[in-house]
Chains A and B, each alone.
Chain A
Amino acid sequence: MIKKAEGFYEYFQRKDGSKTKATHYCAGCGHGIIHKLIAEALADFNLQDDTIFVSPVGCGAFCYYYFDCGNVAAPHGRASAVATGLSRALPGKVVISYQGDGDLGAIGFNNAFQAANRGEKFVCFFVNNAIYGMTGGQMAPTTLPGQKTVTSPMGRDVATDGFPLKVCEVFNQLEAPVFIERVSVADTKRIMKAKKAIRKAIKIQQEGRGYAFVEILSPCPTNMKIGAVEAAQFTINAMEATFPLGNFRDRSAEPPLVANKIPQKELSELIVGSSTAEADTSNFTAKEFKFCGFGGQGILSLGLVLANAGNSAGKNVSWFPSYGPEQRGGTASCSVVLANQEIGSPSVDKPDVLVAMNQPSLEKFAPTVKKGGVIIYDEQIPVEFDLPKDVSVYAFPAAKIATSKGVPKAANTALLGSLLALDLIGLPEEVVLAALADSFAKKPALVAKNMEIVETAKAWMKDNILS
């Protein structure tokens, strides 16, 4: 009978094409031992084809050269976040996040912590060697009190550098994790316990029971600047005083939490306005609109009515809002494109039609209007600059009309009426009005009033501009 490594690639083929059977780890590094335990478990459980291994940043960054299973490399500290995505997208697969104490304990702590708190279905192997290995032996969150490192040459002073981060103890405060254990690979007895914990944690994934966390104390002879055997002794004698070994939690016998069923809906039900209309192939010149004003004037809604109308008429449409963080106030604009052909970009730099509802927006966008285009603005806006000469400009009493109908907020509807009167939209009027009515689906009482405002606006245009 032969005892040999299983679960690894036959050769470790590096990016430069070189093939080797040796890892990149230093002599005596604990990573290799941990790798052997994980790879062996995957092979023994016949899980290699159902496992995705997330490599970290740090010394373990090249895990994907070694493990013969699915592999993904995550940015620094993000292995738990990437593992979250993978396990959610691929339920039933075994997802492993393998992270060091810099990756998990420092930059990625919140990713790991939140994943543990949500009880994501993956196993996190946390390799703790009390130092930053790959970067050259700097102090890590897990560095022991008094331990000398490159960045703590006098030894870690807990008064200024804080205390070692005990991740198992922290995670053990959370409700969701199913399994938490701290093990070590410093000697045979400990390696065998580590083997058992690692297999248990992987088994929990195979059975879909929830989050498992295994912290593994691992020697780093290079950065401890001692031999491999001495480094292993350091792991036992010094590290275990701060990081006691043992099982913190094993709830693998309890039934896993089951999520509530989310009612399934058709995509067309979810995407409001997704049109079933036949694509319009008639001769239609693409139109680009820009609506602008301050937030709360109904700029975005006005654009949306137009986009929905275009959608019902079988056009390709885009509606692209741009606004500040304010819900009310602040400047807002939206770009709408109606076209028969595909729309390359939803942003409108040179609109055919500009509708401006306040002064700064008018000043900002008026010079961008296409030659021969149209500008409609509320007549109450003071114009203190020269409007472009090669476009048609209409000062329209939108606010006045809306106010006269008792709905001052509906100035945007009045502007829609002016667009219809000037036939600038290019869509059948009934389609536009239907879209307007739809926009008040939640406030049907307002439909009639808005229709009245449209008619009044059209009449004003007919009497004052078109006659």
Chain B
Amino acid sequence: MSCEKHGNKSHPHIIQDECKGCGRCVDACPKDCLQLADKINGKGYIPAEYIGEGCIGCGICFYNCPEPYAIEVYKKDKE
């Protein structure tokens, strides 16, 4: 699965407007590649964002996130 921004690389897709900014994913990420943004989202929360590199597609952020639809994780397709 590829996307415009990250191609075929593993990466989290954080739907910014569904994020409530609790920070569980930021705390849980084993590669420390998530952070809280420096702006608020439509709901008024400070959402999490991907720093742009380092994701291994483990899905840990997905399971730590309490919102069903705030994070999707794209894992690199095997060659």
Please list the residues of chain A having a beta carbon within 8 angstroms of any beta carbon in chain B. Answer: 1-5, 8, 21-23, 25-33, 35-37, 39, 66, 187-188, 191-192, 195, 221, 227-229, 232
Contacts and interface: CB of A to CB of B under 8 A. Distances in A.
Contacts of B62: 3-5, 36
Contacts of B65: 32-33, 36
B60 interface: yes
A22 B20 contact: yes
A214 B63 CA distance: 18
B22 A23 contact: no
B30 to A, nearest CB: 8
B51 to A, nearest CB: 18
A30 B43 CA distance: 20
Given A1-B74, A1-B77, A2-B73, A191 B68 contact: no
B44 to A, nearest CB: 11
Given A2-B73, A27-B21, A191 B66 contact: no
Given A2-B1, A27-B21, A188-B60, A22 B69 contact: yes
A364 B43 CA distance: 69
Contacts of B22: 27-28, 221, 227-229
Contact of B64 (A1, A4, A8, A188): A188
B72 A2 contact: yes
Interface in B2-57: 15, 18, 20-24, 27-28, 30, 43, 45, 57
Nearest to A218: B66
A391 B74 CA distance: 90
A425 B30 CA distance: 88
Contacts of B18: 21-22
Contacts of A229: 22-24, 27
Contact of A29 (B28, B63, B66, B68): B66
Given A22-B69, A27-B45, A36-B63, 6 more contacts: A1-B1, A2-B72, A28-B23, A35-B68, A36-B65, A228-B23
B3 to A, nearest CB: 10
A192 B66 CA distance: 14
Nearest to B21: A27
A427 to B, nearest CB: 68
A197 to B, nearest CB: 14
Q: Which of A1, A36, A66, A229 has the most CB of B within 10 A?
A: A1
Contacts of A192: 63
Interface majority SS on B: helix, strand, loop or mixed?
A: loop
A5 B57 CA distance: 15
Contacts of A195: 63
Interface residues of B, number: 30
22 contacts: A2-B75, A3-B72, A3-B73, A4-B72, A4-B73, A8-B68, A23-B66, A23-B68, A28-B23, A31-B66, A33-B64, A33-B66, A36-B62, A36-B63, A36-B66, A187-B64, A188-B28, A188-B60, A191-B64, A229-B23, A229-B24, A229-B27
Q: Which of A8, A66, A229 has the most CB of B within 10 A?
A: A229
A32 B1 CA distance: 26
A42 to B, nearest CB: 13
Contact of B69 (A21, A37, A227, A228): A21
A66 B77 CA distance: 30
A39 B27 contact: no
A228 B24 contact: yes
Contacts of B66: 23, 25, 27-33, 36
B72 to A, nearest CB: 4
Contact of A188 (B21, B63, B68, B75): B63
B67 A32 contact: yes
Contacts of B77: 1
Nearest to B78: A1
Contacts of B69: 5, 8, 21-22
Contact of A23 (B15, B27, B67): B67
Contacts of A188: 28, 30, 60, 63-64
A256 to B, nearest CB: 31
B23 A22 contact: no
Contacts of A5: 62, 68-69
Nearest to B77: A1
A3 B23 contact: no
Nearest to B67: A32
